[in-house]
Amino acid sequence: MALTDYVTLGRSGLRVSPFALGAMTFGTDPGGAGCDVAESEKILGTYLERGGNFVDTANFYTNGHSEKILGDWFAARPGRRDHVVLASKFFFNMFPGDPNGGGAGRRSIIAQLEQTLRRLRTDYLDLYWMHNWDRHTPIEETMRTLDDLVRAGKIRYVGFSNTPAWVTAQAQTMARLKDWTPLVALQVEYSLLARTVEGEIGPLALDQGLALVPWSPLRNGFLSGKYRRGGQVADSARTAFVGGPSEADYDVIEAVAGVADELGTTSAAVALAWLRARPGTVVPIVGARKVAHLEDNLAGLTVRLTAEQRRTLDAVSAPDLDYPAPMHGAQQAMLQFAGTTVDGRESTVYPPLLQSTVRY
């Protein structure tokens, strides 16, 4: 597989590369955790030269500098922007003291989009994400505003990020019933070290034909191959903010490294290949502070995990999901199917049934 092996994004006609390029690291304001303009442009150029077409940013990434870097790069190359799926996000307030500077109300969405389009030096966005759930704004106001922006030609498609499944389901149902623009994708935290999305949001995405677009697919670099139990990592801008891996994390990290050794590839490539093999349409966002980081990540396009390797990684990283997810596994099949196999799902018999011949 290559970046030119495009996939449709959810239930839409939008074709995107199997890996998106995340631009959160573009720019050094604030904190110095990102990369400068020159390196950002090299990363972007490398991704596009390899055939990538899906670039993701947000209004508040490096205080808007990420969007400006992208906008300046495309403006200097007329015609290139129209062949790229450019996505950004709204929600985060960039104006201290102004309660309407962020969120998902009509006034703030429109204002945030105008600022984003100015920085990106474009007339439209291909995909506009709600970056987080605004519990202080009715979801119908958000969805109607986004539909108005689609009809006005300012945005093409809509997605949610970091939003509860029940809110997402409400929004999608409302959009369908009112003939508003529906969601096509969900941007979520998802990796071998963060699998709780499989409890509610993942099944919702499968049911509704929504693509999953995982952010932090290497879990802050923990799955990059740099981390080893008992070792020190010097080149990690994120560890200072989020801390290091836990002992349970290291179990997963070591299992990933073992599979990487078997395949003669990197841990990053294995972790990304595992995500690509998940059910439904999964398009990981790969970020980088150096061109070399991007090249390492793109190697995940060529890795093919065996069924046994997938089972190993699935088992070592199995998440503890919130109720009611634990009720929907083998116990449910036992109580429902009574030892039969239905739709390929095997079941055992509820033990008390084997001990009694009486059916009242």
Report how far apart, in Å, the C-alpha atoms of 86 and of each of 25, 41, 124 are: 16, 15, 9
Collapsing DSSP states into helix, strand and coil, what is residue 87? strand
Distance CA 59, CA 88 (A): 7
3 state SS for 282-301: ECCEECCCCHHHHHHHHHHH
Q: What's phi and psi for 80, nearest 5 deg?
A: -70, -40
Q: Can you tell me the distance from the alpha carbon of 277 to that of 192, in angstroms, rounded to the nearest whole number? A: 12
Report DSSP state, residue 345. Answer: B
**CA of 356: how far to CAs of 330, 335, 343, 347, 349, in Å?**
22, 16, 28, 19, 12
Q: 188: helix, coil or strand?
A: strand
Q: Is 61 a catalytic residue?
A: yes
- H or E element in which residue 46 lies: helix 37-49
Number of H helices, E strands in the chain: 13, 10
Cα distance between residue 137 and residue 145, in whole Å = 12
- For residues 191-216, one letter each, b for 16 or more C-beta atoms within 10 angstroms of the residue's C-beta and e for the rest, the string is bbbbbbbebbbbbbbeebbbbbbbbb
- A 10 A CB-CB count for 355 gives 7
Set 6, 47, 61, 360: catalytic member: 61
- The catalytic residue positions are 61
